[in-house]
């Protein structure tokens, strides 16, 4: 079964992908993403791999006949891709060189441009799940891309609030956030010529880092070669700082927030940024989303981000002293 089911309470769609339960358990001595597996080229730097068990498909099956006028169903149209960061099975993002990460960003950009050509796709989400705490069962360094035929609710909410702020002030909300964080300084971790990294005032994760473009741009294809190099540097050093924070592989969910595709023009009021959702609040303590967070979306951060920002800044300085891969 693979279909979309409408949630009338939230005006949203749930992906149903029960066929994913048939995914095989990979033997410990075999990785399909390693050269020599027969699944990927024997020589690659970064690589796009179509997901073998996608939740969204270019040619989806008909939905099961279980819907109604109230409980609507739709085909699970879209695309799910895996993006391999390196042929090295044990490499981590901060261990890759800046030129290598630039190639990854170029591949992300190519896939964004290709997937937006399909008029049925409305939003393209590039993301990475990292670490066992985030449910990762395949340790080979990789991320994913989902092309949705329905605008996800969180993105829709973010776009609405950015538009409302622009209508009321004439400003881009995220440009204003950048200025606010730069003026306050205490939550800023690092900035280079084109990007700034900070743990924003409002995040519900103790180490919920944002990486934001300084220039008002809305998606990867807008960036110059120099901006992509700056973004590669930023991704390398910030994930390196995270790994240094507790001297262990730092689990996170990382999501690139970009403009929608095949939808209304949002260039005046939307702004490219990357959000990290790291589940750790201490080295071996998880920040769980329990009843209030899940049932009411009432976010609760167990840490003051002014304190966690200072800790991540200190970890960034320690990382610089021992930087690898460049």
The DSSP call for residue 123 is E
d(CA 57, CA 240): 35
Please tell me the distance from the alpha carbon of residue 194 to that of residue 182, in angstroms, as a whole number: 14
Give the count of beta carbons closer than 10 Å to the beta carbon of residue 296.
8
Give the CA count within 13 Å in the CB-facing half-sphere of 318.
14
Tell me the C-alpha distance between 154 and 257, whole Å.
Answer: 11
H or E, element range at 18: none
- 195-198 vs 142-148, strand pairing mode: unpaired
Torsion angle (degrees, nearest 10) of CA 143, 241, 179, 220: -20
Instruction: Kindly state the tokens that stand for 146.
Output: 């989902």
Kindly list the catalytic residues. Answer: 142
- 193, with CB counted inside 10 A (0-12, 13-18, 19+), is exposed
Query: What are φ and ψ of residue 98, in 5° steps?
Result: -60, -45
The DSSP bridge pattern shows strands 73-75 and 78-84 to be unpaired
Distance of CA 326 to the CA centre of its chain: 24
Nearest 10 degrees: CA dihedral of 273, 179, 182, 190? Answer: 20
Tokens representing residue 39 in the block: 């699944």
Cβ-contact 73, 6 below 8 angstroms: yes
């Amino acid at each position: 079964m693979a279909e979309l089911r409408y949630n009338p309470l939230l005006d949203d769609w749930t992906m149903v992908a029960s066929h994913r339960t048939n995914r095989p358990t990979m033997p410990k001595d075999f990785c399909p993403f390693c050269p020599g597996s027969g699944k990927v080229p024997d020589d690659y730097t970064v690589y796009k791999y179509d997901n073998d068990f996608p939740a969204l498909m270019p040619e989806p099956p008909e939905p099961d006949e279980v819907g109604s006028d109230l409980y609507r169903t739709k085909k699970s149209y879209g695309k799910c891709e895996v993006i391999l960061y390196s042929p090295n099975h044990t490499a981590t993002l901060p261990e890759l060189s800046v030129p290598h990460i630039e190639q990854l960003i170029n591949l992300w950009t190519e896939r964004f441009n290709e997937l937006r050509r399909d008029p049925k796709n409305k939003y393209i989400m590039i993301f990475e799940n990292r670490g066992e705490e985030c449910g990762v069962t395949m340790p080979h360094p990789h991320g994913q891309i989902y092309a949705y035929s329905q605008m996800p609710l969180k993105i829709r909410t973010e776009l609405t609030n950015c538009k409302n702020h622009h209508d009321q002030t004439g400003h881009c909300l995220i440009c204003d956030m950048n200025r606010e964080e730069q003026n306050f300084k205490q939550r800023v971790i690092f900035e280079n010529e084109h990007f700034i990294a900070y743990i924003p005032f409002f995040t519900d994760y103790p180490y919920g880092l944002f990486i934001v473009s300084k220039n008002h741009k809305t998606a990867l294809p807008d960036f110059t070669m120099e901006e992509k190099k700056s973004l590669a540097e930023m991704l390398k050093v910030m994930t390196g700082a995270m790994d240094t924070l507790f001297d262990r592989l730092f689990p996170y969910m990382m999501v690139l927030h970009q403009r929608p595709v095949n939808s209304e023009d949002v260039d005046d009021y939307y702004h490219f940024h990357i959000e990290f959702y790291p589940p750790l609040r201490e080295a071996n303590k998880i920040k769980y989303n329990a009843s209030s967070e899940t049932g009411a979306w009432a976010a609760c951060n167990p840490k003051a981000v002014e304190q966690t920002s200072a800790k991540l800044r200190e970890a960034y300085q320690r990382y610089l002293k021992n930087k690898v891969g460049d």
